[in-house]
Amino acid sequence: MPSSQINAKVLNPNSLNLVQVAVYDRLIDAPLNRAWENVLDWAHLPYLHETTFDYAELQDAGDWGWRTWSNASHTDHIELTVADTDSYVARSYQSGQQVSEIWTTLTAQGDQTKVHVEFHFPDVDTEIVDRMGAAILSLYTKLWDEDEQMMRQRHTRLLEKRAKDSEANLGSESDLRQHLKNGGKLLFQLQRREYQLREVDGTLIAHSSICPHRLGPLADADISIGKLRCPWHGYEFDLESGKCISPKDADCHLAPAPDLCRVSGDIIARL
């Protein structure tokens, strides 16, 4: 099912008294394909942007864009529509009434992407335009900061070359434990996979540091409750089995954990 908004690809299809309150321009350090991938990825909103979006439930999605409910009662929603090869529009609705219209143009500049955003809101009093615009620009700077970090990390993951070895000497056990006790981090690679060494209740373990869903970071995940949670899309995995716990219908699994062996005082990781 396409956009529910009739004539969604044109400016102001509902003939509102729209006022442009701000314009945002930015060059992000990620290629155009990563930017479009991010635009169509509605599922990261309540996780990567958890301080901004407290609820997002998919109603429909496709090549045209996506539509999500903004609250559990299903009275409010956001609809994003791909308008052209280089632009899209996001409209927010409350109880069926449109309350915003935000147009974005994405332009490739080598390995970077130029972002141009125009913000329109209905019936805005002249005296609050500047104040409203400043608040919107502050919010969007934060959102694009978060998005850019995710896009850059994902792009790096997709391009990186990892070690093919099936075994790695991680170093002296006593030194490793002290390093971890002091808050240090240790990442290592085996068979083109990346792992993190952790200590749990006095036992050294290793787990995948990359989410199998979209290559999100698991290295800083809290493991105190026996599971790993990806900060990008909220995917959760059982630490011991690697099974995906949430979402329940997800078809992914953590990479198998390596065995950790003690050899002459050193810790050897093997797959």
Question: Do 179 and 138 share a structural domain?
Answer: no
Confidence of residue 224 (pLDDT cuts 50, 70, 90): confident
Q: Are residues 45 and 155 in the same domain?
A: yes
Tens digit of each residue's pLDDT (9 = 90 or more) over 179-209:
999 999 999 999 999 999 999 999 999 999 9
> Where in the sequence is the domain holding 115, given as residue range(s)?
18-159
Averaged pLDDT score across all residues of the chain: 97
CATH number assigned to the domain comprising residue 196: 2.102.10.10
Average of per-residue pLDDT across 247-266: 95
Question: 110, 143, 159: which is the final residue of a domain?
Answer: 159
For residue 10, what pLDDT band results from cuts at 50, 70 and 90?
very high
Q: Name the residue with higher pLDDT: 145 or 221.
A: 145
pLDDT at residue 37 above 80?
yes
* Rounded percentage of the chain residues whose pLDDT exceeds 90: 97
Q: Compute the average pLDDT of residues 227-247.
A: 96
Q: Crossing angle, helix 129-159 and helix 32-39, to 10 degrees?
A: 120
Strands 266-270 and 167-172: antiparallel
Contact in structure between 84 and 9 (CB atoms under 8 Å): yes
What pLDDT, on the 0 to 100 scale, is given for residue 175? 97
pLDDT for res 116: 98
pLDDT tens-digit map of 115-133: 999 999 999 999 999 999 9
According to the 3-state scheme, what is the secondary structure of the chain? CCCCCCCCCCCCCCCCCEEEEEEEEEEECCCHHHHHHHHCCHHHHHHHCCCCCCCCEEEEEECCEEEEECCCCCCEEEEEEEEECCEEEEEEEECCEEEEEEEEEEEEECCEEEEEEEEEEECCCHHHHHHHHHHHHHHHHHHHHHHHHHHHHHHHHHHCCCCCCCEEEEEEHHHHHHHHHCCCCEEEEECCEEEEEEEECCEEEEEECECCCCCCECCCCCCCCCEEECCCCCCEEECCCCEEEECCCCCCECCCCCEEEEECCEEEEEC
In the prediction, which pLDDT does 91 show? 98
Task: Report the CATH number at residue 64.
Answer: 3.30.530.20
Residue 206 Cα to chain centre, angstroms: 24
Q: What is the distance of C-alpha 220 from the center of its chain?
A: 15
Residues 108 and 175 in one domain: no
Q: What are the tens digits of pLDDT across the range 62-118?
A: 999 999 999 999 999 999 999 999 999 999 999 999 999 999 999 999 999 999 999
Final residue belonging to a domain, choices 102, 129, 159? 159
pLDDT band at 239 (very low <50, low <70, confident <90, very high): very high
63 part of a folded domain: yes
